[in-house]
Amino acid sequence: MEEKMKIAVIANCQTQAISNYLRIITGCKEIVNVPVHMFGSELYLKALGSLKSIVEDENGIIFTFNLSERFGELETTNLKKIAKAKVYSITNLYFSGFHPDITYLGSMGKRVSSPLGDLHSKIIITAFTQGLDVNEAKNSFNNETYKALGFYEEFESSKEELFARDANSNIQFANEFLALVTSKHALYTMNHPIPEVLHKFACKLCEHTGIPYDNYPSEFFNNYLSNATWWLIYKEIAEFHGLKIQCPMLFKQPDNKGGNVLSLNEFIVRSYQKYEDVGAHVIRDAFKELGC
């Protein structure tokens, strides 16, 4: 790897992990992360400043999610036109087929928090807004509820969305990604992959662009995403889709929110406490905005 090569990764919460993997396997000393999920923040604006030197560098390589015009100067079509660097659109590693219960409450930057950070359970919110007690909410985690809420259909819907995004990317990874997530517990949540996924993705980026790299074992890599929420796949959903894994009904908080492992009962109790603090009307209104 020549020292003059510069790389930028424009992505969501995955950007730091992808950049770290690229740094290790390529030896590139200058990699810029641009976290678009933090659009407008101080960190985002600082990253934009660092990105400019790569955009103007003919030896630079930029990997970016396909971004719309709402991201201003980072709109992918525009970036490809103005950059002297080579710009490659890449796949957003998102698949909700095994995590259909997860939802956000509130718009970006105005999220209502839960015991698991920004992530909420649709089942728990539904139970809370319907006035069910904790035991009734717990008993709602069953096959009938999953059917009624369309959880089993989420797999095909998310798969179609994944391949549609992939078709518009210069570097395609949907087949490899889906093969991994349907063979093992490869996602902490719908958009937080385990090290093996990120490692193979980083190698694919290098192979496509001709960047020399060393293929270290994926187990060696630190994954920043593992510090966030762990939401294990519900047994019935795994069985329905033929995923041969066994998972306890447990949830891990993000490390910066305590990092504790919660039972389903604890998750419900703490969620109810949060929602009561915020106000039932606020939760109902935010949930309605999601179309639920």
**What is the average per-residue pLDDT within 77-101?**
96
- On the 0-12 / 13-18 / 19+ scale of CB atoms within 10 A, 38 is middle
Check pLDDT > 70 for residue 3: no
CATH 3.40.50.12080 fits 6-94+170-227, yes or no: yes
What's the pTM value of the predicted model, to 2 decimals?
A: 0.91
**What is the average per-residue pLDDT within 20-35?**
94
Check pLDDT > 90 for residue 162: yes
**What is the average per-residue pLDDT within 93-104?**
97
β 6-11/60-65 pair status: parallel
Residue 40's pLDDT band, with cuts at 50, 70 and 90, is: confident
pLDDT the model gives residue 109 = 63
Tens digits of per-residue pLDDT, 214-264? 999 988 888 889 999 999 999 999 999 999 888 889 999 999 888 999 999
- C-beta of residue 174 within 8 angstroms of C-beta of residue 166: yes
Check pLDDT > 50 for residue 85: yes
Residue 1's pLDDT band, with cuts at 50, 70 and 90, is: very low
**What whole-number distance in Å separates Cα of residue 219 and Cα of residue 225?**
14
Check pLDDT > 80 for residue 83: yes
**What is the average per-residue pLDDT within 118-127?**
96
In degrees and rounded to multiples of 5, residue 16 shows phi and psi of -65, -40
**What is the average per-residue pLDDT within 110-117?**
89
**What is the average per-residue pLDDT within 34-50?**
90
Across all residues in the chain, what is the average pLDDT? 93
Residue 286's pLDDT band, with cuts at 50, 70 and 90, is: confident
Ranges in the chain annotated CATH 3.40.50.12080: 6-94+170-227
**What whole-number distance in Å separates Cα of residue 76 and Cα of residue 118?**
27
**What whole-number distance in Å separates Cα of residue 115 and Cα of residue 252?**
9
Nearest partner of 146 among 238, 243, 252, 249, judged by Cα: 238
Check pLDDT > 70 for residue 108: no
Q: Where are the alpha helices (DSSP H) in 56-153?
A: 76-82, 122-129, 134-139, 143-148
Check pLDDT > 90 for residue 287: no
**What is the average per-residue pLDDT within 28-45?**
90
Residue 159's pLDDT band, with cuts at 50, 70 and 90, is: very high
Check pLDDT > 90 for residue 102: yes
pLDDT the model gives residue 4 = 75
